[in-house]
Structure 1
Amino acid sequence: MKARWMPVLGGALTALAVWGLFTLSAALPAGGYGLRFAEPLAAAQAQALEQAAAQQGVDLALWREEDARLTTPLGRSAGVRLVYTTGSPALCFPVEYVRGTAPGAAQADGCAVSTALADALFGSRDVTGLTLDLPGGARTITGVLQGEAPLALCPAGSGAGWTGAELGRVPSGDPRGAARQLLQSAGLGQGAQYLPYGTLKGILAALGWLPVAAAALLLAVRLWQSLPLRRGGRALAGFALALALALALPALLGALPRWLIPGRWADAAFWHGLGDTLAETLNTFLHLPGTARDGLLARTLLGAAACLAALPAGLLLAFAAARKQNR
């Protein structure tokens, strides 16, 4: 009985891991990039960054966070993390909304609250249209976002103190180069940390496709072996398949990101530089600041780690069961 359930368990675990990788990949923005600044930006630096982003056609949302304590006229109170943003709040904080929508970028009198904050202050999630007294004045709640921590997302005008930035529509060929050029154009070339959401999205999707491609290849081999072809027909079919793969190769190589340039694969310095960049990026992901915004990314990374742990376990169970059946 135990041996009978091993392939089922292995297949289910593998399918769950693949589904999780695809789901996590789909939640990340394709052309997204994050920046974390070593020091809060001055007003002039923020303005220069906004101008550089507009010139390069890149969407930009600057943000900062602070803690506060809110009390309603009914006496309910809760500690809250306030996320102020200039630019698109949806770009700054990409989450699911259970009620309403995110406030507009220029809606300085609007805000969105998390489900945890709505429950704590109002005892209900049907709070769109209500007024909430926040530091700086009253704001109208436009939406309720999914969140387990008390949080309010508030558009703000340009100013100082921004500690992070979210970029949209970053060129996919060389996103890191585009982000670096943006910072240099604004005079901010030093001290920033880079978070390549688009690259992470591609890596998670590629890891999800690996077992799918392996299963498809195994199925193709089995079908190939079962074809009732003579030696000449099998050779002709093999030649046609090889020709199709050769014709598709330029398109496959063209789909690779610019930072993985095939023409430089023989250059040891290229691999050394790529390794340094990957190590720096991994270190940044593993040492994210304790902000509400980076908490979203941390949960994505934990989910990816769980999927990557489940994937080989499921494959090993399925492979072990297949070997026992073939004996």
Structure 2
Amino acid sequence: MNPEYLALPPARRRWYGPILLLTVFLLEIMLWQHLERQRSFCQTTGVRFASPIATDVLDQVETFTTSDKNTQGIYASFWGQQDVTISTSNGRHADAVVGIGYYGSAEDCLPVPYQQGCSPSIYGNECALSEALAQTLFGSTDIVGMKVLAQKKTYTITGVFSAKESVFLFPTQENLTCAELRGVSWDAPKEDVETWCAAVGLESPQCIVYGPQRVWIMTLFCGFPLFVVGVAFFVTTIRWSCLWPKGIGTVFWFVLAVLAALMLPNILDSLPGWLIPGRWSNFAFWQDLAQSIHEQQQAWKLCAHYWPDLIRR
């Protein structure tokens, strides 16, 4: 043990444990709050394409989704970003607004919390505005039911979402370059996405954003401080067990070993398939996995980034 720690008065040493636990507790609160925010933003598997998706391909996707060929049960929503100009009947207008056009579920394409109303549907000319854009056009966020003019169409406002930038969310079938998929398998997301793209007639994805897998990795990271505390407690228990009567120590470690053996299958079942090698003796698996992760990171850096990607960080 550290001699400097032993040199401290016993009264001061007693405070080290509670202070450490309090620090870990506060750190865990911050980490889990951030995780819950990311969990709401990363419920889908994102796909980025190099060119806009044609309207006839959207029809093919809709037909495939409801057919028996969709054995994976994947449901897709599409979106894209473009600059739009918006005006109101009171003469106000906003130029170079971030326009997020979507086809499918607006909540999957732009998962943001709403201050007023709700997200627009795909039916009819409905839209949603960011808080900043609502203040610019109307001077208020209480604007549900009002109308705006954009893209030579009149839209009815269904909701106002939280955002400091001027953002306009509206249904469209043009300039869609991204997709958000639900139903992608947990164990083989890359293979599922590529198979689905080929089945519906889409080009090979430029980049895949693994939302649920990202949340799983962040969950491990959030639990790391608790893991460190658990290891410290385990080491302390080993030291104190040397002072226990021999019979009590033997029973304690036997029960602990049985519990560990019972928990191991559940722990292995909770791991995703892409993290489990076919043979545990195949050490090349981990090198290939690291290479695959590196390639995905490079593909993400090279593809175009949009405003919804910022809120997912």
Q: Match for residue 31 of structure 2?
A: 18
Using the alignment, how far apart are the partners of 1:211 and 1:7 within structure 2? Answer: 11
Q: Match for residue 165 of structure 1?
A: 179
Instruction: Deviation per CA, 1:198-225: give whole Å up to 9, x if none.
Output: 1110011110011112213323443565
Q: Match for residue 34 of structure 1?
A: 46
| Higher percent of residues as helix | 1
**Counterpart pick for 1:253 among 260, 268, 293:** 268
Which amino acid counterpart does residue 22 of structure 1 have in structure 2?
A: L
Between 1:166-175 and 1:264-273, the stretch displaced more is: 264-273
Q: TM-score under structure 1 normalisation?
A: 0.80
Q: Is the 8 A contact 1:46 1:160 kept in 2?
A: no
1:22–1:63 distance in 2 versus 1, CA, 3 Å: closer
**Counterpart pick for 1:94 among 106, 111, 114:** 111
Between 1:39-48 and 1:86-95, the stretch displaced more is: 39-48
Q: Is the 8 A contact 2:131 2:141 kept in 1?
A: yes
Q: Is the 8 A contact 2:84 2:98 kept in 1?
A: yes
Match of 2:274, SS state, is coil
Instruction: Deviation per CA, 1:72-105: give whole Å up to 9, x if none.
Output: 2323221212211110001110000000000123
Q: Match for residue 236 of structure 2?
A: 222
Q: Match for residue 102 of structure 2?
A: 85
Using the alignment, how far apart are the partners of 1:183 and 1:65 within structure 2? Answer: 21
**Deviation (angstroms), 1:268:** 4.0
Q: Which has the larger radius of gyration?
A: 2
Tell me, yes or no, if structure 1 residue 135 matches structure 2 residue 151. yes
Which amino acid counterpart does residue 285 of structure 2 have in structure 1?
A: F
**Deviation (angstroms), 1:169:** 2.8
Q: Match for residue 160 of structure 2?
A: 144
Instruction: Deviation per CA, 1:87-125: give whole Å up to 9, x if none.
Output: 00011100000000001232x311011001101000000
Instruction: Deviation per CA, 1:214-245: give whole Å up to 9, x if none.
Output: 21332344356546731232122112211211
1:183–1:155 distance in 2 versus 1, CA, 3 Å: same
In angstroms, what is the RMSD of aligned CA positions? 2.7
Tell me, yes or no, if structure 1 residue 176 matches structure 2 residue 167. no
Which amino acid counterpart does residue 169 of structure 2 have in structure 1?
A: L
Q: Match for residue 321 of structure 1?
A: none
Tell me, yes or no, if structure 1 residue 192 matches structure 2 residue 206. yes
Tell me, yes or no, if structure 1 residue 294 matches structure 2 residue 309. yes
1:53–1:260 distance in 2 versus 1, CA, 3 Å: farther
**Deviation (angstroms), 1:196:** 0.2
**Deviation (angstroms), 1:163:** 0.4
What percentage of aligned pairs have identical amino acids?
Answer: 28
**Deviation (angstroms), 1:189:** 5.1
Using the alignment, how far apart are the partners of 2:86 and 2:203 within structure 1? Answer: 38
1:89–1:67 distance in 2 versus 1, CA, 3 Å: same
Structure 1, unmatched stretches of 5+, are 301-327
Q: How many residues in Structure 1 have an aligned counterpart in Structure 2?
A: 292
Q: Match for residue 125 of structure 2?
A: 109
Q: Match for residue 11 of structure 2?
A: none
Q: TM-score under structure 2 normalisation?
A: 0.83
Q: Is the 8 A contact 1:99 1:143 kept in 2?
A: yes
The structure with higher relative contact order (CA 8 Å, sep 6+) is 1
Using the alignment, how far apart are the partners of 1:209 and 1:15 within structure 2? Answer: 8
Using the alignment, how far apart are the partners of 1:192 and 1:185 within structure 2? Answer: 17
1:8–1:246 distance in 2 versus 1, CA, 3 Å: closer
Which amino acid counterpart does residue 219 of structure 1 have in structure 2?
A: F
Tell me, yes or no, if structure 1 residue 267 matches structure 2 residue 282. yes
Tell me, yes or no, if structure 1 residue 210 matches structure 2 residue 227. no
1:13–1:244 distance in 2 versus 1, CA, 3 Å: closer
Match of 1:216, SS state, is helix
Using the alignment, how far apart are the partners of 2:300 and 2:274 within structure 1? Answer: 19
Match of 2:223, SS state, is helix
1:21–1:150 distance in 2 versus 1, CA, 3 Å: closer
**Deviation (angstroms), 1:270:** 2.4
Q: Match for residue 139 of structure 2?
A: 123
1:207–1:235 distance in 2 versus 1, CA, 3 Å: same
Q: Is the 8 A contact 1:103 1:110 kept in 2?
A: yes
Which amino acid counterpart does residue 233 of structure 1 have in structure 2?
A: I
Structure 2, unmatched stretches of 5+, are 1-14
Q: Is the 8 A contact 1:115 1:150 kept in 2?
A: yes
